[in-house]
Amino acid sequence: MRSWGGGEFKIPSNLRIYYSGPEVHQLAAYVSDELRNHHAIKRNKPVLELKSLSDKKKGVHLVLDGNSAMPADGYELTVAANGITIKAADYGGLFNGVQTMLQMMPLPESGRHSVGYGYVWDYPRFAYRGMHLDVARTFSSKEDVLRYIDNISRHKLNKFHWHLTDDEGWRIEIKSHPELALVGGFRGGDSPVDAVYGEWNNKYGGYFTHDDIREVVRYAAVRNVEIIPEVDLPGHSRAIANVHPEILCAGPVDTVSTAGYDRRNVWCAAREENYELLDDIFREIASLFPSKYIHIGGDEVDMSQWNSCPHCQELMRREAIKDGHGLECRFMSRLEKILEKYGKSAGGWNEAIDGGDLQKTTMVYGWEDVAACVGATNQGYPTIVMPGRYFYFDMKYTASEPGMTWAGIVSTEDVYTFDFASHGMQEQNMANVVGVEGAFWSELYLYQGEGYLDRQTYPRICALAELAWTPQEQRNWDDFSARMEGGHYARLRNLDIKYRVAPEPAHESEAGAQPNDELLTPEMTVTSSMPEYSRNPYFNIEKYMFGSQSRTTRTCKVGDYIQFTFTEPVECSSMEFVTGYSYLKRCHITFGYAEVLYDGDEDYVRYADLEAGAVTIEPARPVKAVRLVSTTPRNGESTVIIQPVRIRP
Ligand code: TNX
């Protein structure tokens, strides 16, 4: 509800902030800082005035009134002659009202110093309005995490899902097992943790101490953000398994396809000591985070490890568990009990409920698709809706921009216009939808550097914020876009958020042109010491199928090669060979060199080292063949990807 009219409140440079009691003190200090730092209102000062919220006093009035009938997280905001008054029944409501006020405050660049009279009565659509951050693949410093929380809170998001562990890093100190973070928080170099990707040979990582975490929790609480920590189990656990290999299954280890590397990442479900270690871990985590929920993962479990483990097989026979999904469910149930002991409930990715029932207090995070969310709500689980196709902000905005694509291309409009009803979510489903969440997985972040996190998340977070806050019938994409252009991009700039700017649309003629038009495609055959993977055969690169690729059945060792032999000698200005994904420095020949067989020669001549798995050859003479030779001792991958060669005339 909004109404406006009849005058303006002039903001004095000594604007005062009155607040109703000690429980609002920190919020008043926050408002003061915000006005000083982002609105150039310099001399504002918080004033505690418990009794008289006198109409005559000019300033900002923050009133927490537990008796008020405002819905949870809702607020009432009035701008009148005596200034700005925000009233709410709970702290969250007051904080949200403050955000609305800050959005109404003129930006320093505007030169204005007033706010129009008006009235807002507002509350959110969903109780859970979340953003996720993966700090395992790419580490984010404490300062970056604080900034991330600060910025999501400005958008009235109230949950921060902190993905603290994964195959590539263990990022939370556990005092009873300090090696988990001390060793497991770093990969590469002398660490037993697979370097897999990133700054491969350099030691890379970091972790959060208990003190760090307490600081982040306190900072978030001032901003009405609850933190749901995640330890991803029983899969996605290679980092901890590299530190404690005994947690793994007793089955055979395949190190052939990975050049000596043990890639297993799933906890043995039958090993009793595993649950003791997990008890220690969750006891500490439960004491650090006030949230009722601890997320215990449950996604993408490689069940082949359980299928070949004699102990898991024996357990399944004994308890008549029919498959891996059933065993995962049993594993998760054990964790639920541990959490219960420490006063917590579980959160889990949607696969966690594939093999049977968990407690109906467990919150299910539906990520695979909308159907997974519908399924969870039908079974009566409180559900967070976040299918990758709409909510994964590590995906590209458009095809030509950076990011992942496996879940689709996720435009800001896709996020904004997400409509539950059109996905078959009925009223009874919606009753179990607690809210929505956007995710940022950080596999690519390491290579993209500064600004990438901001760019991938904004303005998609702005769209998510409205989806989470505003009822379906009141949302309109054109209206949202106009408001972004009309002021919110300026607001983001004022906060130094490096949001994504849409690239200039390509001209008709350019859009129609094939990027391959000027490339040569001479007949060639590809041979290799590494077998080809049947679904991505060498045929794909032999036929120059740009956009497609070839891959091997195993990673490369020292001496492996991939050879391109041309039927006729090729005269050209350059040949570009790329191994690995084109958008992600993974699955390449990590170390190696290229050698060339020129027309008329008997032997190959070494040309240059590969850089990030790639090399460009500028041959002075016609080329008969090129060979990429690996000198990689081990790289923790399970495949080599090879892109079609780009040959320029
Ligand atoms: C799938 S989403 C994963 C993550 C990856 C993400 C990359 C989920 C529960 N599992 O481990 O980081 O895709 O987009």
Compute the distance from residue 376 Cα to the ligand 1 centre, in Å: 19
Which residue lies with its CA nearest to atom 12 of ligand 1? Answer: 441
More confident site: 214 or 448: 214
Q: Whose CA is nearest to atom 10 of ligand 1?
A: 299
Q: Is the CB of 367 under 6 A from ligand 1?
A: yes
Strand partners, 465: none
The answer to whether 172 and 181 have CB atoms below 8 angstroms apart is yes
Q: What is the pLDDT of residue 513?
A: 44
User: Could you please report the per-residue DSSP string of 164-223?
Assistant: -EETTEE-B--TTSTHHHHTTTEESTT-SS---SSSTTS-EE--B-HHHHHHHHHHHHHT
Distance (Å) from CA 389 to ligand 1 centroid: 12
CB of 349 sitting under 6 A from ligand 1 = yes
| Residue to mutate (ligand 1; options 163, 441, 444, 584; most atoms within 8 A of CB) | 441
- Asked if pLDDT for residue 512 goes beyond 90, the answer is no
- 451-480 pLDDT, tens per residue? 999 999 999 999 999 999 999 999 999 999
How far is the CA of 131 from the CAs of 291, 393, 442, 470, in angstroms?
Answer: 15, 10, 13, 17
Q: If you average pLDDT over residues 541-565, what whole number do you get?
A: 94
Residue 261's pLDDT is 80
pLDDT at 503 (0 to 100): 81
* pLDDT, tens digit, 9 for 90 and up, residues 489-508: 999 999 999 999 988 765 54
Which of 140-144, 567-571, 633-637 bottoms out in mean pLDDT, i.e. has the lowest? 633-637
Does any ligand 1 atom lie closer than 6 A to the CB of residue 300?
A: yes
Q: How many Å apart are CA 428 and CA 148, to the nearest integer?
A: 34
Quote the pTM value. 0.88
- Ligand 1 atom closest to the Cα of residue 443 is 12
Q: What is the pLDDT of residue 450?
A: 84
- Identify the residue whose C-alpha is closest to ligand 1 atom 7: 441
Which ligand 1 atom sits closest to the C-alpha of 137? 12
pLDDT at 22 over 50: yes
3-state SS track over 243-285: HCHHHECCCCCCCCCCCCCCCCCCECCCCHHHHHHHHHHHHHH
**Tens-place pLDDT, residues 261-319:** 888 999 999 999 999 999 999 999 999 999 999 999 999 999 999 999 999 999 999 99
Atom of ligand 1 nearest to the CA of 365: 9
Please give the number of the atom of ligand 1 that sits closest to the Cα of 134: 12
- Which of the four pLDDT bands, split at 50, 70 and 90, describes residue 184? very high
Distance 438 CA to ligand 1 centre (A): 12
Distance CA 100, CA 289 (A): 28
Pairing of strands 293-297, 226-233: parallel
Determine phi and psi for 599, rounding to 5 degrees. -55, 130
Ligand 1 proximity of 416 Cβ (cutoff 6 Å): no
Residue 445, ligand 1, Cβ within 6 A? no
Q: Atom 5 in ligand 1: which residue has the minimum CA distance?
A: 441
How many angstroms does the Cα of residue 392 sit away from the middle of ligand 1? Answer: 9
Q: Is 146 helix (H, G, I), strand (E, B) or coil?
A: helix
Task: Please say whether the beta carbons of 438 and 461 come within 8 A.
Answer: yes
**Given the DSSP bridges, would you call strands 83-88 and 592-598 parallel, antiparallel or unpaired?**
unpaired
Beta bridge partners of 48: 19
Ligand 1 near 162 CB (within 6 A): no
| 552 neighbors 535 (Cβ within 8 angstroms) | no
299 C-beta closer than 6 A to ligand 1: yes
Binning pLDDT at 50, 70 and 90, where does residue 54 land? low
Gap from CA of 49 to ligand 1 centroid (Å):
49
| DSSP H/E element including 461 | helix 460-469
Residue 594 — φ and ψ, nearest 5°?
A: -110, 140
- Across 467-501, b (16+ Cβ under 10 Å) vs e yields bbbeeeeebeeeebbeebeeebbebbeebebebbe
In this prediction, residues 71-85 reach a mean pLDDT of: 95
Report whether residue 441 contacts ligand 1, using a CB cutoff of 6 Å.
yes
Taking the C-alpha atoms of residue 101 and residue 93, their distance in angstroms, rounded to an integer, is 12
Are 149 and 212 in contact by the 8 Å Cβ rule? The answer is no
Type and span of the H or E element at 127: none
> How big is the chain, counted in residues?
649
Q: What is the pLDDT of residue 200?
A: 67
Residue 160 neighbours by CB distance under 10 Å: 25
| Range ranked top by mean pLDDT from 186-190, 256-260, 412-416, 633-637 | 412-416
Question: Strand, helix or coil at 341?
Answer: helix
Q: Which residue CA neighbors atom 14 of ligand 1 most closely?
A: 441
Instruction: Report the pLDDT value the prediction gives residue 633, as an integer from 0 to 100.
Output: 84
Residue 376 has what pLDDT?
98
**DSSP assigned state of 507:** P
Q: Residue 212: is its pLDDT beyond 60?
A: yes
- Is 418 a pocket residue for ligand 1 (Cβ < 6 Å)? no
Q: Which of 328, 329, 431, 325 is nearest to 380 (CA)?
A: 431
Within 10 Å of residue 613's Cβ, how many Cβ atoms? 26
Percent of the chain whose pLDDT exceeds 70: 96
The mean per-residue pLDDT over the stretch 350-373 comes to 96
* Residue from 138, 197, 295, 300 to probe ligand 1 pocket by mutation (most atoms less than 8 Å from CB): 300
If you measure from the C-alpha of residue 441 to the centroid of ligand 1, how many angstroms do you get, rounded to a whole number? 7
Pocket test for ligand 1, best of 132, 299, 385, 391 (most atoms within 8 A of CB): 299
| Across 174-195, average pLDDT | 94
